[in-house]
Structure 1
Amino acid sequence: MPNTPISRGKLSWGCCDGGSAHDVFLRCTNCKKVYHKSCLALPENIDMTESSYGWKCPLCTSKAPKTGKDDNTPVRNITVRGNKKQPCSPPCKSSDTPVTTEEVKEIVQTVIQKEMESLYNKMSKSILDTLNKQLKDVSEELSKVKESIEFMNAEFEECKMESIAMKKSYKELQDENCKVKSAVQELTIRVNQLEQSARSSNAEIQCVPERKTENVLNIVKDICKVINCNISDDKIVNCTRIAKINRSSPRPRSIIVQFTTPFIRDQFLASAIKFNKIDVSNKLNSTHLGIPGNKIPIYILEHLSPANKALHAAARIKAKENNFKYVWVRNGRIYMRKDDNSKYHLIKNMSLLEKLV
């Protein structure tokens, strides 16, 4: 006989506290408690409408005496669950077929593969994000470096062009300098020749002691008498003492005698050389002129230009260093000879003098 219609306002649940008035349930005819089909673990194909009449819950069935009478209530030993929230979905169906090792392995491999793929995707995304960020920074830095290199390259090209122009200018200046040096050297030689040519009629008398009351013309006349050189007064244009180049030198100032012609000058020089050769031990000196005091040698030579005079002094020093026997001047030119059997050398400039050994 069907149960009395159930009032769904207040229900007394015997299986769990998670039910509601709209759930599908069975009501015990004895204790009046209601039970979910899922909590009773009843088969899916059972008709809740037909089996609900005269149904007793497992707790009441266990307390009733066993009569062996078969009724519509399935006899199953179930465990009454405590207060539990009803699951959102029905539990998985159980299977009587046992799970094999291969199936377990396949399931594990599938799970692991999915986890690995998920991890790989996450790591790939993280790595790509990091690389993109780093590459962006590197790209910006490279752009700055590129701009800097382009700027430096432009500056380098400009400096290179300036350097080429400066080298070209330097080469032109160097060539011009060589030409100027050559021209200056040539002009120096020509000036020296002109200066020496202007002195072609002059003779220089060195080391004649100075006196306050001296007459230079009379000194020249006395020298002419001593060396037996007959030169009249009208052949002497001028005679005077010249300033010393080195003022600290103790030597007296030289006397410059200007004759009318180079021939008269050469005659005067030849007479002095001849006089000195006659008596080598008593060459021309201050006693021959009647000058009191110590015996001081007197030298008569050509009046040289400043350049030739410096070259002549250097030649005399070189002769002492390398044991050259002869150094002499002829017509403004300086000559040197090692000994009586060697050839003479014409000393034109300092470079030729330095090459002599």
Structure 2
Amino acid sequence: MHRTPPNNISLSASESDLTNLSKANETSNITLRPSVKRLRTSEESVSSQENTFSSFKKEIMESMAAMFAEQNEKFSAIEKSIAEIKSQNTTIHQTNCEIERSLEFVSHQIDDVKDKISHLEVERKKMSSEIISINNKIENLECINKKTSVEIRNVPNSKKRESKSTLFDMIQHLQTGISLEDEYCGQIRDVYRTNYKSQSNVSTVVIEFMTTLAKEKFISKTKLFSNSKGDQTNSKLMGLDGASTPIYISEHLSPRTRKLFYLAREFAKQNEYKYCWTSGGKVFLRKSEGSQHLLVKDDNDLKSLKNPVQP
């Protein structure tokens, strides 16, 4: 009968690989430590990394410091420029204020000048109106003074000294030649020469009659003589020696009316007006026989006749 051995009894056994078993037992009974060389290498690596980081950090700090320094310089320059611009703006503002004050002053002066000019313009118009009024009065006085006078143009000058009686005799011959009635022949107040020039051979003789009627009769007889004889009145009718010279008899006009009469005659030639004459110191025009006569007061009337206003 076989008996089972108890469990607590240790049994010996043999190991086939005694070498490996021995090494395993040695290993299990020995504490392992890292080698010194490997630790040193690790410490050197950490130190190198720290040095690299410190160097990088230093470079970064230096770069940032340089950048900040550069930025500060730029900001300082910008602040300086802004300060200069502000100073310039202040100066410009002050200058603009001075210019505005100057312009305001000049503007006031211009307004004053405009007021003065307006006042002077009013005064000028007033004076012009007064001058026109005075000239019209002078013209009326001259017309009144000359309303009884007749002028004979282109009368030959005498080579001898001429007296009043000589001039009266010349007019007497002329009155006889045109067959003026005796009742008007003696109505002469004065006779004299005008426009006398030593270098000229002719001048104008002015006859002042006592009445306007005597003057009108003298002029009408002169026209009648020229129309009936078909010849121009000449110096022979005045009893003058020498060659026969045409003479021209008309009313004695004021300088203003004489100029207007000349303009009216030129206007009549250019615009086919058949008649242009003076009567009582006034100038008249007539387009044709039987048409209405037109009183010409000044050159504006001639302009109106040339360019009539369309209705």
Q: TM-score, normalised by structure 2?
A: 0.72
Secondary structure of the 1:207 match is strand
Work out the CA distance in 2 between the residues paired with 1:232 and 1:157.
Answer: 78
Q: Find the counterpart in structure 1 of residue 243 from structure 2.
A: 294
The residue type paired with residue 180 of structure 1 is M
Deviation at 1:115, TM superposition (A): 5.7
Q: Find the counterpart in structure 1 of residue 123 from structure 2.
A: 176
Work out the CA distance in 1 between the residues paired with 2:212 and 2:259.
Answer: 22
Gaps of 5+ in 1: 1-75, 78-92
Q: Which has the larger radius of gyration?
A: 1
Work out the CA distance in 2 between the residues paired with 1:320 and 1:232.
Answer: 35
Secondary structure of the 1:296 match is coil
The question of whether the paired residues in 1 share the 8 Å contact of 2:193 and 2:203 is answered with yes
Equivalences, count = 262
2:174 to 199, 223, 228: 223
Change in CA separation of 1:261 and 1:289 when aligned onto 2, cut-off 3 Å: closer
Is residue 208 of structure 1 aligned with residue 155 of structure 2? Answer: yes
Deviates more, 1:111-120 or 1:155-164: 111-120
Deviation at 1:193, TM superposition (A): 1.1
Work out the CA distance in 1 between the residues paired with 2:198 and 2:64.
Answer: 109
The residue type paired with residue 240 of structure 2 is I
Change in CA separation of 1:314 and 1:250 when aligned onto 2, cut-off 3 Å: farther
The residue type paired with residue 276 of structure 2 is V
The question of whether the paired residues in 1 share the 8 Å contact of 2:170 and 2:239 is answered with no
Is residue 158 of structure 1 aligned with residue 105 of structure 2? Answer: yes
Is residue 135 of structure 1 aligned with residue 82 of structure 2? Answer: yes
Return the structure number with greater helix share: 2
Deviates more, 1:157-166 or 1:334-343: 334-343
Q: Find the counterpart in structure 1 of residue 193 from structure 2.
A: 241
The residue type paired with residue 319 of structure 1 is A
Work out the CA distance in 1 between the residues paired with 2:132 and 2:199.
Answer: 31
Change in CA separation of 1:94 and 1:195 when aligned onto 2, cut-off 3 Å: farther
Q: Find the counterpart in structure 2 of residue 27 from structure 1.
A: none
The residue type paired with residue 329 of structure 1 is T
Secondary structure of the 2:195 match is coil
1:306 to 252, 255, 261: 255
1:275 to 225, 235, 249: 225
Gaps of 5+ in 2: 1-35, 307-311
Quote the sequence identity (%): 22
The residue type paired with residue 137 of structure 2 is R
Change in CA separation of 1:234 and 1:295 when aligned onto 2, cut-off 3 Å: closer
The question of whether the paired residues in 1 share the 8 Å contact of 2:283 and 2:296 is answered with yes
Work out the CA distance in 2 between the residues paired with 1:97 and 1:119.
Answer: 32
2:212 to 240, 255, 262: 262
Is residue 330 of structure 1 aligned with residue 261 of structure 2? Answer: no
Work out the CA distance in 1 between the residues paired with 2:102 and 2:161.
Answer: 80
The question of whether the paired residues in 1 share the 8 Å contact of 2:175 and 2:185 is answered with no
Work out the CA distance in 1 between the residues paired with 2:245 and 2:305.
Answer: 32
> What whole-Å deviation, never above 9, does each CA across 1:114-150 have from its counterpart, x for those lacking one?
5665455333322221111122222222222222222
- Within 5 Å, which residues of 2 pair with 1:178-193? 178-193=125-140
Change in CA separation of 1:331 and 1:243 when aligned onto 2, cut-off 3 Å: same
The residue type paired with residue 210 of structure 2 is T
Deviation at 1:338, TM superposition (A): 4.0
Work out the CA distance in 2 between the residues paired with 1:356 and 1:294.
Answer: 42
Deviation at 1:249, TM superposition (A): 7.9
Work out the CA distance in 2 between the residues paired with 1:250 and 1:340.
Answer: 39
> What whole-Å deviation, never above 9, does each CA across 1:131-188 have from its counterpart, x for those lacking one?
1112222222222222222212111111111011101111111121112112211211
Q: RMSD value over aligned CA atoms?
A: 3.3
Secondary structure of the 1:334 match is strand
Deviation at 1:336, TM superposition (A): 2.5
Work out the CA distance in 1 between the residues paired with 2:54 and 2:229.
Answer: 142
Work out the CA distance in 1 between the residues paired with 2:187 and 2:122.
Answer: 51
Work out the CA distance in 2 between the residues paired with 1:113 and 1:353.
Answer: 105
Deviation at 1:345, TM superposition (A): 3.3
Q: TM-score, normalised by structure 1?
A: 0.63
Work out the CA distance in 2 between the residues paired with 1:302 and 1:294.
Answer: 25
Q: Find the counterpart in structure 2 of residue 89 from structure 1.
A: none
Is residue 144 of structure 1 aligned with residue 72 of structure 2? Answer: no
2:264 to 315, 319, 325: 315
Is residue 197 of structure 1 aligned with residue 134 of structure 2? Answer: no
Deviation at 1:343, TM superposition (A): 4.4
The residue type paired with residue 274 of structure 2 is K
Work out the CA distance in 1 between the residues paired with 2:291 and 2:59.
Answer: 114
